[in-house]
Amino acid sequence: MGHTLMVRNVVAVAAITLFLIGLSGCDYWPPALQTQIEQIRSELQTSTVEKTQLQNQLASMTKVRDDLQAQVDDLSRSNREKTSMINSLQNGLAAAQERLAKSAKSSAPKAGAAKTSAKVSPKAPLKKKPTAKATH
């Protein structure tokens, strides 16, 4: 029985030792593992720097896009205003041309009546007054 008691004590001490080592952690890292850890840390730092640069570029591009969109909106609004103004001027021009054509037609018979009532010498050639044509 003494032998089993001794084995139990050794096993208990070993178990307690392993338990205490597990709780305290192991501060020994093999050199290959330390190299891998440093390489991963370096890659992480590089990735973090690249991520920050990309985020800055994205913010800059977003600002440029917003500025350009504002310019497009301003130009579109200006284009609509100019189109409206052009349409209004074209309508005014068409109305003015119609009034001119009507006034030319109504004044042409009056001028023709005045010429027929006046004495015209047979030798003098008659000159025709050009009439205004409506152009669209």
- The whole-number pLDDT of residue 114 equals 53
First to last CA, the chain: 127
pTM: 0.45
100 CB neighbour count, 10 Å cutoff? 13
Q: Tens digits of per-residue pLDDT, 103-120?
A: 988 887 665 555 555 444
Q: Return d(Cα 118, Cα 126) in angstroms, integer.
A: 12
- The whole-number pLDDT of residue 23 equals 60
The SS3 call for residue 105 is: helix
